[in-house]
Structure formats: C-alpha cells, structure tokens
Amino acid sequence: MAITFYCGSGSPFAWKVWLALEHKKLAYDLKVLSFDAGDVKKPEFLVINPRGKVPALVDDGVSLYESSAILEYLEEKYPEPSILPGGAAARALARRIAAESDTYLVAALRTLFVQTLGKRNGDGDPDAIAAAKKLVAAELAVFEVYAEREFLAGNAISVADFAAYPQIALLKRVAEKQPANAAPIPARLTAWSQRIEALPYFGRTVPPHWKTA
Amino acid sequence: MAITFYCGSGSPFAWKVWLALEHKKLAYDLKVLSFDAGDVKKPEFLVINPRGKVPALVDDGVSLYESSAILEYLEEKYPEPSILPGGAAARALARRIAAESDTYLVAALRTLFVQTLGKRNGDGDPDAIAAAKKLVAAELAVFEVYAEREFLAGNAISVADFAAYPQIALLKRVAEKQPANAAPIPARLTAWSQRIEALPYFGRTVPPHWKTA
C-alpha cells in the first residue's frame, strides 16, 4: 500500500483530498486522527506535518500537506481519472473556483460554523449568527452561478467540486443540527450537492462520526 | 500583445504574478489600478474579475483571476523558463510552501500590516501591534527553515518564492516606514530576500508608488 492518508473527522480540507483519492480509485491506508484526543499534535504526526494539521498524505515515503498541493500532486502522479479538465483556460477556471472556495467561501462560512457546529449546546451568539448568515448568502450567490453547470467548472468533476462540496456539506449539517441557524442553500447549488452525493464512491468519504451522530 | 496584466500598487498577490510574468520573459500590457480611485470596483474591471480584486490577467480574450490559478496557467501555457521544479514531490513542496505563504504567512502578517502600513499617521493600536509581532515571529520561524535553501523550495526559484517574497517585502516596508513597529526578519530569510531583489527583472516589478514615496 503506497499511500497513507491522514484525515480528521469532519475536516473539510481532508474531505477534499479524500474525494480526490476515491475519484482516482487509488488504494490508501486511512488514518482518522482525533482532534479531541490531540492526535494532530502528537510527535509522530508532527513528523509528517509540523503544522499539526490534516489532511496529510505519505506516498512512497514522501510527506505531503496543504490540500491544494496534494491534489496537484495526485493529478501529476496518477493522472487518470483526471480531476482537472483539459486545456489551460478550463484548468485555470477549475483551479480558480477551488481557490475561491478555499479563500472566500471558507471565510464567509467560518463564523457561522464556529457559532453553530462549534457550539454543541446551540448557545451561539444570535447577533453573530445573523451577521454571518448575510455573509454566507452573498458568497453562496457567487457559487450559485457556477452551479449552473453540471459541475462547478464544467461538465466534468474537478478540484473545484472537491474543494467546495465539503463546505456546503457542513452548511447542510448546520441545517440538520440547528435548523433555526441555517443559511438557505440556493436551488442549483442544492441540486449540484446532490449530484456529488450520488457519486458511487461518495459514501466511503462521509466523516465517520457523522454516520453515528 | 497577448497578455494584459491588471495589478494594484502594493498588492502582494499581484506582485506574485508580476514576478512570474517577468521570470517567464512574457510580454504584457501593464494596467496599474488605483485602489484610492476605486478602479477595481468599476464596471469595466468587474467584467474581468467580478470580485473586483487584483491580480487579474487577460490572455487571448480569456479572463483569469486568483493568483495561484494564474501561476499554474502561465506554467502550463508558457512552460519555459519554469516556475515549478521537476518531479512530483519537488513540485508538491513548491506548491505547498506557496499555499503556506498564501494562508499562514498572510494571516500572521495581516493585523501587523493593518495596524502599521494601514495607519499612515502611525497611530496603530500598540497592544494589537505587540500581539501581531508575536504571531509574525512564529510564522517567520517556519519560513526561516525553508530559507536554508537557496530558494524556498530548492535550488531554483519557484511559485514558493513568488508567493512569499511580496509578504516579506511589505514587512521590510514596515521597518522602513515605522521602525518601532517592525518585526525582525531572521538572517536566512533576509539573505533570501536579497537574492530575490538581485534578480535582473526585479526592479521592473517594484510597486510604482514605492519608487516615489
């Protein structure tokens, strides 16, 4: 087994890499680290990623981290099935949307997640949640335009979908756990998220603790 | 002239792309947008980047934005001279350090820049500045290790250097403008920054308003 993949349950950046590994039909040894148990800060993991963050991946003895760099690595080393479209302009679009997800979508959602999923008793600050929902709505409107396409960057799945989907999945989880605090997901993005969830390998990537709680 | 490059004076993400364009010896029509004049929010620019941000680049009629996606595009379309090393693992390292720069180095420096370069009268909050300097020192210690190499990802210049250099340059500017608020730059990073500044094309990428003020 060449690849060891380190994830943490519910980490959207780890989920991004997980979807790519499955899409590429790669064999990997899965290590689910526990944030509560401090696994990511243990010396044996800091050897792999000194920043103590997931995802990380070891392939043939080489340690890799930072999800966007891992995806590019997987695409170069294991090109088929691809996670980038053909042609420089189309590839730039897919990478741009992935970067927009990692930057703007993540930033827009951060406070809402802290104040909802991060407050297991549901005692988030109502004013902060109201303000966060406005930010989320504005950013989702941008992605709603991308979701006019079958996949965010065109008619094939790509790094753009793998980057954005886990963020939207976390937002769906807010709706499930704390419906009053949910930010509505527009129609085309909802339909796109269902296309991701219908992928044959999708079920293997669902965060382990979501299956039980 | 195939490429039109939109930058804003002092934007570190634009500077990243600018260094790459020069390194690749590409011809480009330079458009310096003024933040003060609101150029980035004008309708004619929003057609190119609806987010109203620089850098943006138009190549043969295709609009591109998000600096990391632009660099990958340039590397694919104009591969020589390269801005990525050879070999999947070495390329992953370069992309990883570029991502670390865009994420952690930028985050560590943000408050310091807001409280210093963002306060032209030097009236930043002293407590915020003191706290920010600690964050900066911790992150610079990580990059100081990378700077043991001639360039951050090895013995050739790459996306890692183009991403990190403008951040360090802004930090040098803090030292120049408000010496009391400066965060010290460790020795190897300083020497590395001087190697970047010695590049034959470096002078053409210095933010225009820095030349006069």
- The total domain count for chain B is 2
Angle at A103 between CA A11 and CA A211, to 5 degrees: 20
Indicate if A106 and A159 belong to the same structural domain: yes
For residue A190, is it within any domain?
yes
Indicate if A97 and A186 belong to the same structural domain: yes
Domain that holds residue A50: 3-83
Helices B159-177 and B126-146 sit at what angle, rounded to 10 degrees? 140
Are B73 and A50 an interchain contact pair (Cβ–Cβ within 8 Å)? no
For residue A178, is it within any domain?
yes
List Cα–Cα distances, B2 to A32, B62, B114, in angstroms.
48, 10, 36
For residue B102, is it within any domain?
yes
Chain B residue numbers with beta carbons less than 8 Å from the beta carbon of A50 are 142
For residue A211, is it within any domain?
no
Chain B residue numbers with beta carbons less than 8 Å from the beta carbon of A92 are 62, 64, 69-70, 72-73
Indicate if B75 and B112 belong to the same structural domain: no
- B87–chain A Cβ distance below 8 A for any pair: no
Q: What is the pTM of this model?
A: 0.97
Indicate if B13 and B106 belong to the same structural domain: no
For residue A38, is it within any domain?
yes
Indicate if B72 and B93 belong to the same structural domain: no
What is the CATH classification number for the domain harbouring A58? 3.40.30.10
pLDDT digits over A6-50, tens only? 999 889 999 999 999 999 999 999 999 999 999 999 999 999 999
What is the CATH classification number for the domain harbouring B170? 1.20.1050.10
Indicate if B193 and B112 belong to the same structural domain: yes
Indicate if A96 and A48 belong to the same structural domain: no
Are A66 and B96 an interchain contact pair (Cβ–Cβ within 8 Å)? yes
Indicate if A69 and A112 belong to the same structural domain: no
Indicate if A176 and A101 belong to the same structural domain: yes
Indicate if B109 and B22 belong to the same structural domain: no
B9-68 residues touching A, CB cutoff 8 A: 50-51, 62, 64-66, 68
Indicate if B37 and B137 belong to the same structural domain: no
For residue B209, is it within any domain?
no
For residue B212, is it within any domain?
no
Write down the ipTM of this complex: 0.96
Best mutation target among B51, B64, B68 (most A Cβ atoms within 10 Å) is B68
Each residue's pLDDT, cut to its tens digit, for chain B (213 residues) gives 589 999 998 899 999 999 999 999 999 999 999 999 999 999 999 999 999 999 999 999 999 999 999 999 999 999 999 999 999 999 999 999 999 999 999 999 999 999 999 998 889 999 999 999 999 999 999 999 999 999 999 999 999 999 999 999 999 999 999 999 999 999 999 999 999 999 999 999 987 777 765
Indicate if A111 and A64 belong to the same structural domain: no
Q: Exposed/middle/buried for A90, CB within 10 Å: 0-12, 13-18, 19+? A: middle
In the sheet that B56-59 helps form, which strands lie side by side, from edge to edge? B28-33, B3-8, B56-59, B62-65
Best mutation target among A95, A158, A159 (most B Cβ atoms within 10 Å) is A95
Give the gap in angstroms from C-alpha A126 to the nearest C-alpha of chain B: 26
